[in-house]
Structure 1
């Protein structure tokens, strides 16, 4: 018989941490001299793998040390532990709880503990949950507009990417923006095909993973949790957007795309247009012309009525767009007028309807005072006498519940309109979408 030493692989550094004892006495007499045949090693303990306990949407940190370094997942109970050495939480868990199969988050290798050998048997379905990969063939199918159908572990069928996100605690305003960006075809294709696992920007890396999970046909559960990316957003935004605190979708959108655009220009190449602003001062012949890039067009809703019982006003999207399309002077003050002209139309046009601002008085509005005007909109939008055309792909709406602002998104997917309210998905008749409090829209340029 040969003696096999308990040691880490060269590519797997470890920290010598004290063992954390549980109520069960730790067994220290591990037999490392047993000579396992290849066939025995190949199948040992694989029947203990429990896919229903696995959830890789959480932040990859050890549940004992809270360290993100050298973390493994127990494929029996789904908990995360650090290291594989005899003094590691992972090793202690294998002894104390009699759980033996672990996968490394850093290289996706699978190991058996406490014997500490690598298992070569394919567990590709589990590895795909951690790091999904797509080919150009997969993306070409998505570009055709036809989405596939997947089945989760419970046997529930779902349509590819038509899945909900967990509302962990008040993060519905981030969910709708993540959903909207993930379903922009150009951004989708970029993140599905490119490997961002080595990116220094942690937010970019985590957004890439959630995009890939949203389009998976092999999900263990027919929804995705944004927990991991929200933890990163909390840190990178310096707690401007935190789990448990309500926020505004548009504020989050602008911060998100600006933050990620510093490392990849896919957002600016997709969403940014150019605007020319001409300002005239009364009594002066000079016209000040300013050219700037924009992420979105801000649209002013009709003024809020002082009569609270009065029915909400109704207006049309083309009326709200007039400042950008009619080349007429907009009165800013008694001495100043401004004229807007779109000089470059973006590939994807974002429209923002701010219901929580009184633009005449320039003061914010609370939930009860918000602008409830109904905006009637078409599903195809034209500019410059039909030279530029857009098609609506996403519509973020606001609704009040339990004296709080809540957000949901309506999207054109698989040739149907769906309303996604966190985990709840409902098919909608597009003719009635305008009856909601539209707050943000994304349009795809078709001409």
Structure 2
């Protein structure tokens, strides 16, 4: 069988379906049917039925709707407003002052939401008007928000990590732990860039505000206690071994409901809205997961993944060359697909090749998520760019232009974890030990 012809045929079919406006999940199933009927030699309908059940009956996947619901609940509370006022006194001494609230706020909210777009939207609703009212340049405010919003994919609990863990059969709890140091690294890189930008453009920053008294700082700091407590409960229970990812998700939902109730934001309307939001998002992800699982089965029957792995072994591609090629491939896909679709579409083909090159699959998961973060700020289908458009009314390309420096910073983070893989592996190895 000519696997090059097979791969080109399936890719052309996939992009034709997407170009025709077909849903991603249906496009994946359609390509799977074409592959099975033309090249697989197996009954497409029977395989679809069995794959649908197998892909949707995984107990591990129960963590996904729970974490999504947790983020939806917090999205409808006063948490983001409290976070802004609580973080502001902590960054006044840094060059750039309140610009760092975007980065820290997104980092903190990412640790309780798991979603990049939700993180950018929630923090942006509070921070952008506040920064504009205080005279901070709109371009750097928007760029830092779009860039820092991608932390929702990397800092656990991350919805993307759950999807990758299920697809690659990697421990989700260990993936969560592996994402902590890279997430903090990216947060420091973003803040470091803001420091340098602020020192170079001192004249574009507003005058410093009057200093707060100690009592005022302590009063503001108390606003951070609910979210800090929730982060400790969710991540701490996983790291200590007291809870699995699914059990930690249940703890997170209970904690977020408690925070919403205590803040006075929990009502029948907000509860119903959060539940429906979680259902809609979860159903979308599960549908894509089903389509990707079916396409994976089809490609396994065809033998495409093993053929690609054999090709890479025969060429003896060094790991760095393979990672560079995959990075470019993912960035191109990111121009057309969302992150979840990218991971589910490519896992079956890419992972055998990655394993053949001797690359750790858990490390690769964090690497892929970093690359998918680039896709979040890449036009024309960058979700964080859409969020900024809705918040500011700017056009897509103007938004992409101010975000480009943060795209390069994410590239820098990917390079650093490639050169120093222990950034990813240190905590999981300590947890295992």
Q: TM-score, normalised by structure 1?
A: 0.25
More strand by share: 1
Which is richer in helix?
2
**Rg: which structure is higher?**
1
Instruction: Give the structure, 1 or 2, with the largest relative contact order (CA under 8 Å, sep 6 or more).
Output: 2
